[in-house]
Amino acid sequence: MFRRWRGAKTQAITVGAGRHTSHKISGAAGPLPDLAVAGPGHYRLRVHARTLPWDENDPDAPLEEHLLVVYPGRSTDKVVYRPRG
């Protein structure tokens, strides 16, 4: 599934109030759900990105697509994944 993505970055987030939502993401199709699925605590947030083909018939179409993966975790390391080659 992740082979089509050109890279990813993982970092720590801490949720103290029990909910974590993004205020605004440019070009998002709608608001994000609560990212703190297990309530207050420590999480890892991994953001995958990939470039979309240019659509000359729709100049307002997005040029990138993003996938957010959130899971419980205590590590504070920032990790950047890049494709090989």
Q: Compute the distance between CA of residue 21 and CA of residue 4 in angstroms, rounded to an integer.
A: 26
pTM: 0.71
Per-residue pLDDT of the chain (85 residues; tens, 9 = 90+): 556 777 888 888 888 776 666 655 666 667 777 778 788 889 998 888 888 888 889 988 878 888 888 899 989 898 888 766 5
Under DSSP, is residue 8 helix (H, G, I), strand (E, B) or coil? strand
What's the Cα-to-Cα distance from 51 to each of 26, 42, 54, 82, rounded to whole Å?
15, 30, 9, 14
